């Protein structure tokens, strides 16, 4: 059976790359990109696009009815840093949007749903190193607890209504095709742009703040591998831990300096994102993803840095 795939929030950091990858696999005409904003050039030019606002139930219902998607990827969300500036709006967007999609997945018998969670579901009392799949979770950002609540809804809809919903707790994502949209891990993308443009960067996180990160190539491959895995291999219906690579701003800067020896990093005195980063894990145990659907990381810090610089220098 050929797939009909709806990607909601297609203009964002993940969506931009996921739509291209899915169109390559399933054919451009079978992957409908949708977003509340006008499409990016890459998305507009090679396949169908629909305007969608996840908070507008009628509009979303119409999209499901018109396209009858077999798979839906719901990527529209407000990230950690911006979410702290607009807490109620972040809760509403992250929760109501998910519930609309889960309800329509039941109504239209959508075969599979993907919804991204985050390492932000962990909090100050979670183990900081090799954070396990199951442990104390006390997130203290709206983004973090909306993702944790969303995970519970996903598992609930799987158990009660049989929705085949799959999810990953993404670490900070690093890619050169699209910019991140207001997260705590955004420094790890901005640093590459600034290194190439100005030869220096002021990090809003302190020198030794380690966080789990992942190159976008790996993140997209993980997402598609999880969605393609046979249902009986999926033992977790809340969201899978995914570890990636853990590094500090200093370690990333040192890696960039191997390619751009004059690059200089400095550190901001105080930034609200520091407290968010301090409440998150430093590294993640993703052995369940390895065991269930054969997850394996390909990009370490040196390989990612080289690939980022090589691709970005053509663009900046």
Active centre residues (catalytic): 143
CA distance 249 to 256: 10
Assess contact for 173 and 214: CB atoms under 8 A.
yes
Partners of 202 in the β-ladder = 266
Print the binding letters for residues 127-156 with ligand AKB: x by CB under 6 A, - otherwise.
Answer: ----------------x-------------
Contact region for ligand AKB (CB under 6 A) — 48-56, 93-101, 178-186, 229-237? 178-186
Measured from the CB atom, is 20 or 118 closer to ligand AKB? 118
Asked if 80 is part of the footprint of ligand AKB (rule: CB under 6 A), the reply reads yes
Contact region for ligand AKB (CB under 6 A) — 25-33, 37-45, 54-62, 183-191? 183-191
CA distance 293 to 8: 25
Sequence-distant (6+) residues with CB within 8 A of 232 are none
Least Å distance, CB 83 to ligand AKB, is 8
Which of 97, 183, 249, 281 touches ligand AKB by CB under 6 A? 183
Q: Given the DSSP bridges, would you call strands 211-215 and 172-174 parallel, antiparallel or unpaired?
A: parallel
CA distance 149 to 188: 27
Asked if 120 is part of the footprint of ligand AKB (rule: CB under 6 A), the reply reads yes
CA distance 188 to 174: 7
Asked if 178 is part of the footprint of ligand AKB (rule: CB under 6 A), the reply reads no
Q: What are φ and ψ of residue 150, in 5° steps?
A: -60, -40
Asked if 16 is part of the footprint of ligand AKB (rule: CB under 6 A), the reply reads no
CB atoms within 10 A of CB 134: 9
Contact region for ligand AKB (CB under 6 A) — 27-35, 116-124, 256-264, 305-313? 116-124
Asked if 252 is part of the footprint of ligand AKB (rule: CB under 6 A), the reply reads no
Provide Rg for the chain, Cα atoms: 19
Measured from the CB atom, is 115 or 143 closer to ligand AKB? 143
Question: What are the residues binding ligand AKB (CB under 6 A)?
Answer: 79-80, 118-120, 143, 170, 172, 183-185
């Amino acid at each position: 059976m050929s797939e009909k795939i709806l990607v909601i929030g297609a203009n964002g950091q993940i969506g931009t790359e996921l739509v291209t990858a899915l169109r390559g696999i399933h054919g451009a005409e079978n992957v409908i990109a949708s977003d509340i904003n006008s499409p990016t050039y890459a998305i507009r030019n090679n396949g169908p696009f629909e305007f969608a606002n996840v908070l507008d139930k009628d509009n979303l219902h119409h999209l499901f009815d018109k396209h009858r998607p077999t798979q839906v990827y719901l990527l529209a969300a407000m990230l950690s840093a911006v979410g702290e500036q607009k807490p109620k709006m972040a809760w509403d967007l992250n929760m109501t949007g998910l519930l609309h999609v889960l309800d329509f997945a039941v109504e239209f018998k959508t075969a599979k749903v993907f919804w991204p969670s985050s390492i932000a579901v962990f909090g100050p009392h979670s183990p900081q190193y090799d954070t396990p799949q199951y442990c104390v979770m006390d997130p203290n950002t709206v983004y973090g607890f909306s993702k944790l609540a969303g995970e519970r809804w996903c598992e609930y809809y799987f158990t009660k209504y049989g929705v085949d919903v799959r999810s990953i707790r993404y670490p900070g994502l690093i890619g050169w095709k699209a910019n991140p949209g207001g997260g705590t891990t955004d420094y790890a993308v901005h640093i590459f742009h600034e290194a190439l443009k100005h030869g220096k960067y002021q990090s809003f996180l302190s020198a030794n703040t380690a966080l789990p990160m992942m190159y976008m190539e790996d993140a997209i491959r993980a997402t598609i591998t999880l969605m393609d895995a046979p249902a009986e291999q999926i033992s977790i219906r809340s969201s899978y831990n995914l570890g990636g690579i853990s590094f500090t701003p200093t370690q990333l800067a040192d890696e960039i300096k191997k390619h751009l020896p004059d690059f200089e990093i400095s550190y901001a005195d105080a930034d609200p994102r520091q407290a968010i980063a301090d409440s998150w894990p430093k590294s993640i145990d993703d052995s369940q993803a390895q065991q269930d659907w054969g997850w394996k990381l390909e990009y370490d810090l040196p390989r990612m840095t080289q690939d980022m610089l090589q691709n970005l220098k053509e663009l900046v």
